[in-house]
A and B are shown apart, each in its own frame.
Chain A
Amino acid sequence: MFGAAACAAAQTGPAPALRWGGDAEGGAPFVEADPADPSKVRGFDVEVAETIARGLGREPRFVQVAFSSIDASVARGDFDIGLSGVEDTPARRAMLAATMPYFEFREVLAVRQADAGNYRGLSDLLGRRVGTLGGTIAYDILLAGRERHGYLPVSYDDDVHPYSDLAAGRLDAVLLDHIIAARSLKRVPGLVVEPDPVATGHYIGVLAKENTRLRDRVNEVLAAAMRDGTLERIYRRWDIWDASQAAFFQASLSTLSRNPADAGSLAVSSSRWASAIRYVPSLLRAALITLLLSCAAMALAVLLGIGIAAGRIYGPGAARALLTGYVELVRGTPVLLQLFVLYYGLSSVVRLPAFAAALLGLGLNYAAYESEIYRGALEAVSRVQLEAARTLGFSEWLILRLVRGPQAFRLALAPMTNDFVALLKDSSLVSVITVVELTKQTSIFATNIGSWVLPGILCAAIYLAMSLPLSRLARRLERRWSATA
């Protein structure tokens, strides 16, 4: 409807700009900030967008959007068309109005040079870790072949870190689009791409589902650009043109002449519920990861927190200053940054596995907050009780263990439980270091079925099932101990 209005406006007055969404963080050759003028973007997708806008008689206007949000943003009307290496998937076609494919990519395996002869295909990767960008066709391919080939798929939030982790030895292979692999090989030394592609796929433009009129006009512009060599010139400029692209253009134009309408969307739409049910076990598995990670991180936070609190109350001046510094540093910086530093920043010194880094990151972060709760609770125990204990001959250690500790524990129990509920939810942040926990799995699920409604409801229900009993426990403990405190 919006598109139709835009077209009508084009006929009567000055044409509105064509707002196109892409992620400049994705980098070259797709979309990247222009080094000469960072306020502008450049890349082959930028030039494709310009070609489309020109064909429509409109001015292109770039809208920055996170790659994973392109579908949702275009559906809600943030821009007219999304173009940023957007893959052609059945789910996407079911949810949105998809343009004809304008680029064919190959899913290729990158490995370390030393492994070039060993890992030629997915079937050679038994027991190995294979990374890719989450929510992509490559990730779906990895998930689908996991049981058959026995490797471990590792999902990333970006397409840069898989290659650096491959070079660092955290991964044994990376499966991604050949143009991403080619770019990464220039940046990360010591890697090679296996010659045989694992699969092929296509990039498309996406529009809001009701925007079919604009989509059809975009298709006309794209087909014309394929025929008159405009797209070829763009791809050659960005060094991504090869023989397979020419064959793809040929096939694409002949398919278009036979069947100009969107094919295959109905079949996928009817199977959305079926695919939703297919995802439930993986959501439950991810929930288990969330629960295990939260419990282990909380246990670490409690132990460290007690140590820090005790150190700050009983320790010598230097230890107190050091521990205070630690608490302030951790509380004053985002947990996301701490996770990045632990996992990527320290990888040249210590190469922590992702789960261990997540556990350590959350544990160390929450330890600072826990220590403040314990310190407050320990200091809330009346001083005169401690003096009474001293006059009875208790040592400082016995006073802590028998008098101060037990009373502080009661005071701290309710806020601790609240912190655990918060940790349960904060654990979703560890997806940035490749741990697929509940939120990340939900996001993959939502991307693949092209909707957040059902995955969102299921995810929320699982989080609530885990956190509500804890909140109730916190309230009960608060009631029970408030009389004592």
Chain B
Amino acid sequence: MTELLQIEGLRLSRAGREVLKGISLSVPRGQVAALMGLSGSGKTTALRATVALEAFDAGRIEVDGFELSAGPVPTESRLAPLRRKAGMVFQSHALFEHLTAIENVALAPIRVLGQPEAESRERGSLLLDSLGVGHRATAYPRELSGGEAQRVAIARALAMDPPLLLMDEPTASLDPARRGSLGETLEALSREGRGLLIATHDTDFASDFADRVIILAEGVVAEEGPPSLLASPTHPATRALLDYRKTERPHRT
């Protein structure tokens, strides 16, 4: 399998505290990898460093041949190739509030890739349809439910056709039915040959839909393997994650 994302020895400090203490991981094409851990374990920070939203102190990140090294974040013009290779879906969706769903999806292809507007909107509509939100194309973000907004955000990232898709806590605002549907979408995307790195602490979701799980604890990779390791955890961090799920579940329903 070709590695789409490779992270080696990534160290990152924020306000004098070391958040990531030398993590290494990889995601090949066609795989859904779940990056798991409790709050504060460094999942989101790892994703942000991967798409060059945060500088890191040591290590390297390579996305489909584009390499990021330690030091200040490069200028946007130097990051242009990375932007074509990695898409990101934020936990809060981060849709552009002044634009409709279809405008959110079509904006980057038109303005960044220079695609014709009609073509971009048509492709955008197809993407929204495929994610089950085609009927909401003309709605503004404030008019969308959490699940709908998340699908629009996925469509927006996919409109740039990146081989690697990063998602931060995608199940946080979804009911169980929507979580199932999202999982199927992710599987379909991986079948297209994309690599997906999903930051989540939802062990059920990871068990059902991930090909591999990577457990982060206190800034290091504690355990890594197939989703079955969640059924028989060996590392205390993985057990803590499962315990957290048990205490959390009654409140979620």
Contacts and interface: CB of A to CB of B under 8 A. Distances in A.
Interface of A: 382, 384-385, 387-396, 398, 402-403, 406-407, 410, 483-485
B96 interface: yes
B88 A395 contact: no
A382 B76 contact: no
B136 to A, nearest CB: 17
Contacts of A395: 76-77
Interface residues of B, number: 28
A402 B95 CA distance: 13
B154 interface: no
Contact of A483 (B53, B86, B142, B153): B142
Contacts of B51: 391
B112 A387 contact: no
B84 A389 contact: no
Q: Please provide the 5 A-B residue pairs with the shortest distance between their CB atoms, ordered closest to farther.
A: A393-B83, A388-B94, A392-B108, A393-B112, A384-B94
B228 to A, nearest CB: 33
Given A392-B83, A396-B76, A483-B142, A410 B98 contact: yes
A384 B156 contact: no
A311 B66 CA distance: 32
Contacts of A485: 97
Given A396-B76, A402-B107, A483-B142, A391 B86 contact: yes
A388 B51 CA distance: 10
A389 B142 CA distance: 18
B123 to A, nearest CB: 15
Contacts of B108: 392-394
B53 A390 contact: yes
* A385, A390, A393, A410, most chain B CB atoms within 10 A: A393
B135 interface: no
Given A385-B94, A403-B96, A484-B142, A392 B156 contact: yes
B130 interface: no
A402 B92 CA distance: 20
B87 interface: yes
A384 B142 CA distance: 16
Interface string B95-134: 1111000000001100111000000000000000000000
Given A398-B111, A484-B97, A485-B97, 8 more contacts: A387-B53, A388-B95, A390-B53, A391-B88, A392-B112, A392-B156, A395-B76, A407-B98
Contact of B83 (A382, A385, A391, A402): A391
A148 to B, nearest CB: 59
B80 interface: yes
B90 A394 contact: no
Given A396-B76, A406-B98, A484-B142, A388 B90 contact: yes
Contact of A407 (B86, B97, B112): B97
Given A384-B92, A402-B107, A484-B142, A390 B98 contact: no
A406 B97 CA distance: 10
| Chain A binding surface, main DSSP class | helix
Contacts of A390: 53, 76, 83
Given A402-B111, A484-B140, A389 B96 contact: yes
A101 to B, nearest CB: 71
B60 to A, nearest CB: 19
B160 interface: yes
Nearest to A397: B76
A400 to B, nearest CB: 12
A202 B113 CA distance: 81
* B51, B80, B108, most chain A CB atoms within 10 A: B108
A385 B51 CA distance: 15
A407 B142 CA distance: 14
28 contacts: A382-B94, A382-B97, A384-B90, A384-B94, A385-B96, A385-B97, A387-B90, A388-B90, A388-B95, A388-B96, A388-B156, A391-B51, A391-B53, A391-B83, A391-B88, A392-B107, A392-B112, A392-B156, A392-B160, A393-B84, A393-B113, A393-B160, A395-B76, A396-B76, A398-B111, A403-B96, A407-B96, A484-B97
A389 B156 CA distance: 10
Nearest to A382: B94
Contacts of B160: 392-393
A254 B111 CA distance: 91
Contacts of B95: 385, 388
A391 B76 CA distance: 9
Nearest to B53: A387
A403 B97 CA distance: 9
A114 B77 CA distance: 64
Contacts of B84: 393
A427 B44 CA distance: 53
B248 to A, nearest CB: 24
* B90, B97, B157, B160, most chain A CB atoms within 10 A: B97
